[in-house]
């Protein structure tokens, strides 16, 4: 093991890297970079190893990393002998450029004996290959936590496989995200670049230079970055035949790059100065209106392209800050219907992009592969089946209409993409999970009122303020209560007697926890609950289970254990979401079943795994365009 030395200060200037004078570069952080990190120039990165020879490659590695290794430097062990000569020789024979060998070896240069380097690189590559193969099962991505296939190593200025960084510390190897909205096709060019080894044309704005973006990212403190046009295989190039297979996995998991990363956002196009005009926010090319950028929202986005002046008009600056604040708030609240409502008004090249752009935000346990020939409705329904249990509970409690697809309890994809009269609540509860059994069964455990009169919400309203009504509830013990209720939507709830399901915060099942949000529906003779709509109690009318006389027999704590409590069986909902023809009930509990299927006569049968799967087909376009 070699002690990491203090490295000399290095400067990369726009003039040296791109032949553009620094003062002609409007973005301040793109003019030059100065630091002590082992960053190499574009000229050195582009130098062919064959021109340098093995001695020359080692000489430049030593000079850059502050070491004094020799070609005979080795570590003898019982399994054989390795030297730096044998490590460097393949790079020279393939005529890789210096940037590539530097990217592969830099992060293990100080930490491992020479004899281990080959095995380390081989093991990392093999692990990555098996991981990407095994994560795909029947056209389904079995986990949402899939690292990107490639990252941009900013120190070497080369796109490298993610496995090259896998032995690095997490903090150092975590790639920064670069978020941008694609400019119009007439304003961009397909550039061939050594940064990605000339593997495919890189679509970028005509007035942008990738080497200047690199300088800006280095100034922000990034070592690795993920940029779609560089790291996600684009149309064209000798490897075009690989794109279809890669996209199955790489497109649906783009969101994993941005979930925990620092993100630099270019609001005026990739690498461009932050010069926004009054009409920007209504443009279909606005970052705030593109479907793909929704999943790239972070709690604290870093603004790229800053020019250091106040060139934006005050009203434009005000709108810009308001839009950012709104998206930050959305990210903090993290509710499914807010994301859905936002996506509905965004623009995409294809309607299928909206499905893919929402997939990661809806926290699915599994993710469908990307299939550009599947209709957005079919792909959307598959996604709806895969979203997390908590997101399913949000759809049950907060979406104002019964489902018009095969399920009453949650909306169809067509509904959430077309409904116009839904206004998301300002303050939503943290719900529990919709739990699923082994044979199509599922349930949501909560407080339940078998019969209450609902009045005053029978007519829809297009006014901005919520409609007001009331519920009258009479308990079996003889006491009664009347509450003011609000419907923050226009779906009519005819006056009548209904069954009600109340929502408690998932981590507080005490009888003193307020019940604000309610699902209203019918309890059929077979004790299946059929959703009609939703409402909330007025702010000054919020009540608790104890005030309503509701008691629980069982409740789930945060660890999923059943806790026996005394009380009435009829007050606790343990609702099963099952095919509507399945009338099986447990004899020891009073169970309310939430309808799964629209069919009244028979249960829906699955055919193998086809209900969950996407077909493998060929994408129609070669770009995933923000």
- CA angle at 215 for the pair 311 and 314, rounded to the nearest 5°: 15
- Over residues 589-605, mean pLDDT: 38
Q: Would you say residue 590 has pLDDT above 50? A: no
User: What DSSP letter does each residue of 371-430 carry, written as one string?
Assistant: -TTS-HHHHHHHHHHHS-HHHHHHHHHH--S--SSS-SSS--HHHHHH--S----SS---
More confident site: 124 or 99: 99
Selection from 282, 493, 329, 515 nearest residue 402 by Cα? 493
Give tens-digit pLDDT for 496-547.
Answer: 999 998 886 655 555 567 788 899 998 877 777 788 999 999 888 877 777 7
Lowest model confidence (mean pLDDT) among 107-116, 325-334, 369-378: 107-116
Q: Would you say residue 290 has pLDDT above 80? A: yes
Lowest model confidence (mean pLDDT) among 338-342, 355-359, 448-452, 538-542: 538-542
Rounded Cα–Cα distance for residues 24 and 230 (Å): 25
Output helix, strand, coil percentages for the chain, rounded to the nearest 5.
35, 20, 45
Q: What is the 3-state secondary structure (H, E, C) of 283-307?
A: CCCCHHHECHHHHHCCCCCEECCCC
Q: What percent of the chain has pLDDT over 90?
A: 51
Containing 353, the helix (H) or strand (E) segment is helix 352-359
Q: Give the chain's end-to-end CA distance (angstroms, integer).
A: 45
**Residue 69 contacts by C-beta under 8 Å, 6 or more apart in sequence?**
58, 61, 62, 84
Q: Would you say residue 167 has pLDDT above 70? A: no
Q: Are 160 and 106 in contact (CB under 8 A)?
A: no
Rounded Cα–Cα distance for residues 305 and 269 (Å): 9
Q: Are 580 and 334 in contact (CB under 8 A)?
A: no
Q: Are 263 and 327 in contact (CB under 8 A)?
A: no
Rounded Cα–Cα distance for residues 108 and 105 (Å): 6
Q: Are 422 and 337 in contact (CB under 8 A)?
A: yes
Lowest model confidence (mean pLDDT) among 21-30, 129-138, 327-336: 327-336
Indicate the pairing of strand 442-455 with strand 435-436: antiparallel
Residue 437: per-residue pLDDT: 55
Copy the structure tokens of residue 456.
């005053």
Containing 205, the helix (H) or strand (E) segment is strand 202-205
Helix ranges (H only) for 12-79 are 14-18, 42-46, 49-65
User: DSSP class of residue 515?
Assistant: B
- CA angle at 322 for the pair 316 and 327, rounded to the nearest 5°: 130
User: Is residue 66 left, alpha or beta, with left meaning phi > 0 and alpha meaning psi from -120 to 50?
Assistant: left
**Residue 269 contacts by C-beta under 8 Å, 6 or more apart in sequence?**
180, 181, 182, 183, 187, 205, 208, 285
More confident site: 154 or 386: 154
Q: Would you say residue 615 has pLDDT above 70? A: no
Rounded Cα–Cα distance for residues 437 and 227 (Å): 40
Selection from 153, 201, 158 nearest residue 176 by Cα? 153
Residue 315: per-residue pLDDT: 94
Q: What is the 3-state secondary structure (H, E, C) of 239-253?
A: CHHHHHHHHHHHCCC
What three-state secondary structure class fits 95?
coil
Copy the structure tokens of residue 177.
């995200």
Residue 116: per-residue pLDDT: 78
Q: Would you say residue 467 has pLDDT above 80? A: yes
Lowest model confidence (mean pLDDT) among 133-147, 275-289, 442-456: 442-456
Copy the structure tokens of residue 226.
């993920």
- Over residues 169-180, mean pLDDT: 76
Rounded Cα–Cα distance for residues 300 and 319 (Å): 17
Rounded Cα–Cα distance for residues 393 and 336 (Å): 10
Q: Would you say residue 568 has pLDDT above 60? A: no
Lowest model confidence (mean pLDDT) among 239-248, 343-352, 592-601: 592-601
- Over residues 180-186, mean pLDDT: 93
Q: What is the mean pLDDT of the chain?
A: 81
Q: How confident is the model at residue 174 (pLDDT cuts 50, 70, 90)?
A: confident
Q: How confident is the model at residue 6 (pLDDT cuts 50, 70, 90)?
A: confident
Domain boundaries, the chain: 38-131, 135-388, 413-432+441-595
Residue 2: burial class (beta carbons within 10 Å; 0-12, 13-18, 19+) = middle
Residue 614: per-residue pLDDT: 18
Rounded Cα–Cα distance for residues 489 and 533 (Å): 10
Residue 182: per-residue pLDDT: 92
- Over residues 271-289, mean pLDDT: 95
What three-state secondary structure class fits 485?
strand
- Over residues 273-280, mean pLDDT: 94
Give the strands of the sheet with 136-137, arranged side by side: 136-137, 140-141, 367-368
Give how far the C-alpha of residue 173 lies from the chain's centroid of Cα atoms, to the nearest Å: 19
Q: Are 348 and 354 in contact (CB under 8 A)?
A: yes
Containing 158, the helix (H) or strand (E) segment is strand 158-161
Copy the structure tokens of residue 67.
């070491």
- Over residues 612-621, mean pLDDT: 28
Selection from 396, 401, 390, 386 nearest residue 431 by Cα? 390
Lowest model confidence (mean pLDDT) among 287-296, 300-309, 383-392, 438-447: 438-447
User: DSSP class of residue 74?
Assistant: E
Q: How confident is the model at residue 450 (pLDDT cuts 50, 70, 90)?
A: confident
* Residue burial 520-541, b: 16+ Cβ < 10 Å; e: rest: bbebeeebbbbbbbbbbbbeeb
Q: Are 578 and 442 in contact (CB under 8 A)?
A: yes
Selection from 612, 604, 594, 614 nearest residue 386 by Cα? 612
More confident site: 96 or 613: 96
Q: Would you say residue 596 has pLDDT above 50? A: no
Give tens-digit pLDDT for 212-264.
Answer: 999 999 999 999 999 999 999 999 999 999 998 999 999 999 999 998 899 99
- Over residues 42-61, mean pLDDT: 96
Rounded Cα–Cα distance for residues 190 and 179 (Å): 19
Cross-strand pairs, 82: 75
pTM value is 0.84
Q: Are 142 and 136 in contact (CB under 8 A)?
A: yes
Q: Would you say residue 441 has pLDDT above 60? A: no
Q: How confident is the model at residue 92 (pLDDT cuts 50, 70, 90)?
A: very high
Q: How confident is the model at residue 625 (pLDDT cuts 50, 70, 90)?
A: low
- Over residues 91-120, mean pLDDT: 87
**Residue 403 contacts by C-beta under 8 Å, 6 or more apart in sequence?**
409, 410, 411, 412, 415, 531, 598
- Over residues 356-364, mean pLDDT: 91
- Over residues 258-284, mean pLDDT: 95
Q: How confident is the model at residue 410 (pLDDT cuts 50, 70, 90)?
A: confident
- Top mean pLDDT of 77-81, 218-222, 407-411 is at 218-222
């Amino acid at each position: 093991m070699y002690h990491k030395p203090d490295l000399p200060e290095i400067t990369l200037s726009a003039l040296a890297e791109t032949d553009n004078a620094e003062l002609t570069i409007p973005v301040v952080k793109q003019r030059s970079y100065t630091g002590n990190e082992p960053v190499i120039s574009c000229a050195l990165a582009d130098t062919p190893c064959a021109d340098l020879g093995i001695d020359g490659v080692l000489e430049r590695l030593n000079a850059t990393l502050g070491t004094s290794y020799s070609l005979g430097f080795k570590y003898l062990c019982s399994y054989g002998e390795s030297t730096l000569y044998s490590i460097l020789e393949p790079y020279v024979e393939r005529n890789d450029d210096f940037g590539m060998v530097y990217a592969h070896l830099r992060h293990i240069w100080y930490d491992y004996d020479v004899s281990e380097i080959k095995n380390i690189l081989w093991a990392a590559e093999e692990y990555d290959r098996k991981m990407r193969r095994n994560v795909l099962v029947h056209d389904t991505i079995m986990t949402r936590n899939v690292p990107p296939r490639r990252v941009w190593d900013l120190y070497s200025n080369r796109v490298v496989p993610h496995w090259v960084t896998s032995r690095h510390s997490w903090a150092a190897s975590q790639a920064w995200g670069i978020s941008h909205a694609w400019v119009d096709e007439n304003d961009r060019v397909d550039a061939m670049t050594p940064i990605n080894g000339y593997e495919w044309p890189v679509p970028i704005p005509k007035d942008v230079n990738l080497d200047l973006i690199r300088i800006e990212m280095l100034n922000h403190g990034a070592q690795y970055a993920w940029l779609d046009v560089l790291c996600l295989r684009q149309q064209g190039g000798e490897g075009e035949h690989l794109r279809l297979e890669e996209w199955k996995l790489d497109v649906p998991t783009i969101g994993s790059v941005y979930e925990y990363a620092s993100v630099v956002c270019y609001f005026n196009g990739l690498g461009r100065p932050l010069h926004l005009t009054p009409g920007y926010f209504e443009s279909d090319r606005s970052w705030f209106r593109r479907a793909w950028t929704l999943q790239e929202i972070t709690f604290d986005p870093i603004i790229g392209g800053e020019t250091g002046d106040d060139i934006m008009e005050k009203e434009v600056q005000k709108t810009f800050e308001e839009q950012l604040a709104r998206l930050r708030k959305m990210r903090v609240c993290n509710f499914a219907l807010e994301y859905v409502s936002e996506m509905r008004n965004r623009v995409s090249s294809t309607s299928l992009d909206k499905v893919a752009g929402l997939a990661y935000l809806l926290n699915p346990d599994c993710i469908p592969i990307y299939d550009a020939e599947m209709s957005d409705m079919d792909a959307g329904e598959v996604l709806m089946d895969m979203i997390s249990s908590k997101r399913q509970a949000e759809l049950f409690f907060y979406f104002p209409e019964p489902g018009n697809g095969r399920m009453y309890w949650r909306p169809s994809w067509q509904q959430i993409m077309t409904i116009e009269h839904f206004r998301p609540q300002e303050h939503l509860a943290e719900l529990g999970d919709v739990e699923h059994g082994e044979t199509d069964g599922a349930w949501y455990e909560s407080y339940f009122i078998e019969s209450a009169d609902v009045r005053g919400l029978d007519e829809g309203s297009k006014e901005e303020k919520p409609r007001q009504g009331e519920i009258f509830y009479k308990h079996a013990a003889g006491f009664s209560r009347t509450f003011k209720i609000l419907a923050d939507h226009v779906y009519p709830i005819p006056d009548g007697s209904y069954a009600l399901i109340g929502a408690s915060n998932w981590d507080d099942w005490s009888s003193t926890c307020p019940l604000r949000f309610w699902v209203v529906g019918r309890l059929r003779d077979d004790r299946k609950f059929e959703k009609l709509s939703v409402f909330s109690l007025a702010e000054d009318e919020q009540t608790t289970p104890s005030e309503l006389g509701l008691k629980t027999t069982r409740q789930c704590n945060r660890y999923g254990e059943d806790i026996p409590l005394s009380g009435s069986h009829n007050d606790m909902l343990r609702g099963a979401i099952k095919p509507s023809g399945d009338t099986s009930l447990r004899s020891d509990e009073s169970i309310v079943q939430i309808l799964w299927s629209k069919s009244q006569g028979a249960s829906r049968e699955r055919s193998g795994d086809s209900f969950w799967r996407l077909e493998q087909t060929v994408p129609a376009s070669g770009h995933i365009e923000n």
